[in-house]
Amino acid sequence: MLGAEFEVDVTNIAHGGISVARHEGRVVFVADAIPGERVLVRVTDDAKKSFWRAETVSVVSPSEHRQPHVWAEASVDRAPERRAGGAEFGHIAPGHQRELKRQVLADALQRMAGVDSDVRVEAIDGEPDGTGWRTRLRLHVAKDGTLGPFAARSHTVIPVDSVPLASPEVARLTPLDERFNGATHVDIVAPSGSNAFVLAGDSTSKGRPKPHRVTELVGEREFAVDVRGFWQVHHGAAQTLTSAVQDAIDGDLFDPRASNHDLYGGVGLLAAAVADRFGPTTRITTVESDALATDHAASNLVEWLGSQAVTSRVDRYLQGLRGSATSWRGATVVLDPPRSGAGKEVVDHLVGLEPAQIVYVACDPVALARDVALLRERGWELSRLRAFDLFPNTHHVEAVATLVPAG
């Protein structure tokens, strides 16, 4: 059936920005569709017996929430293999994008963790159509040196004339009409407190690019970060998460002198959020596997005498505490794991250290739900949850959850 075309009625949304339909009893995961639509699809993957994957070829009966795509090069009007990737919700009205993200998050929590949630996905300041927010952009280089994003679900570079999700400064600097022979990608970075950069790179090179320190601003606070290092991409995300983490901490459970931790801490953004809320006596340790980020974290947290930055993988750091007399009783732990989540080993170590509360920052709703399920099995409960639309016109959503021991 590979390449077969047929019409389907789209019924609901699934994790990953794809919709769900059925054809002759078989589940079909459909890209570029909206629940409630009837679309003509083409099968792109039939390797699994239980489901197929398909692309929308054309829309037969459009949803009331369908809009002209914010990125012409990603529109359903183009052949599927020529659609730019990275804006897979751009054909959906912004308010309905947030509703679909809410459904995915709430469904994952209910299905995987047994938690019913009335969470909503909050919009943050920016353009009403969800464009103009990316302060960091990576484009890829085709064999002929031209620049563009990958096509959706492939590694084919698509030439484009615009980058509408980019911030105005990033869009202005993006060299779409230049050739980059010898490079595999180009990064355009516009820090809030430093000059912007256009950086060609080669992902096949074994050496790490030379570090270059830039400054990011969150309110009046400055953060040192490497120009290619991790920093929140949306121009308002760092401030949003700072405030959300501060609000998520139960002040009655917080002890500034306990062994408070920021795990997967990067350059110390969330550790600083904690210390800013609770004052100069706050003890907090940030743990991060990237040594350069840890160096920057040490600099960013220097004003708090009770702070320290540790270079280590989180699982190894926690493993090293196992069997010792170490206890985190009374401690608050901020957890900001990668998209795959924290996982069983980290959760087991955390529970064994007996902290007072965990504030979990999640960029993947399924990983969050999986870890919430692990914590609930070990006697913890979800007490607070907020979600934020930090990636408009994509399927991604950020959530901040508070978990405490049950009872």
Tokens representing 319? Answer: 């493993």
As a whole number of angstroms, the distance between CA 320 and CA 275 comes to 25
Q: Which residue has the tokens 């985190």?
A: 328
Given a contact cutoff of 8 angstroms between Cβ atoms, the answer to whether 32 and 55 are in contact is: yes
How far apart CA 138 and CA 147 sit, in angstroms, is 10
Helix (H, G, I), strand (E, B), or coil: what is residue 312? coil
The answer to whether 363 is a known catalytic residue is yes
The two tokens of residue 271 are 């550790």
Whole-angstrom Cα distance, residue 359 to residue 242? 12
Q: Exactly one of 13, 139, 218, 363 is catalytic; which is it?
A: 363
Neighbours of 233 (CB within 10 A): 17
240, burial (CB in 10 Å: exposed 0-12, middle 13-18, buried 19+): buried
Which residue(s) pair with 6 in the sheet? 41
What percent helix, strand, coil does the chain show, rounded to 5? 25, 30, 45
Q: How far is CA 284 from CA 104, 143, 254, 291, in A?
A: 33, 48, 12, 18
**Cα–Cα distance between 318 and 338 in angstroms, integer?**
17
Cα dihedral 129, 134, 138, 142 sign:
positive
Task: Let me know: does 63 contact 35? Beta carbons within 8 Å.
Answer: yes
8-state DSSP, 149 = P
Q: Which residue ranges make up the annotated binding site?
A: 232, 264, 288, 336
Phi and psi angles of residue 60, each rounded to the nearest 5 degrees, phi first: -85, -50
The label of the residue with tokens 């459909």 reads 30
| Whole-number Å distance between alpha carbons of 94 and 69 | 11
Query: CA angle, 213 as apex, 210 and 215 as ends, to 5°?
Result: 155
Annotated binding site for S-adenosyl-L-methionine: 232, 264, 288, 336
Task: State the catalytic residues.
Answer: 363
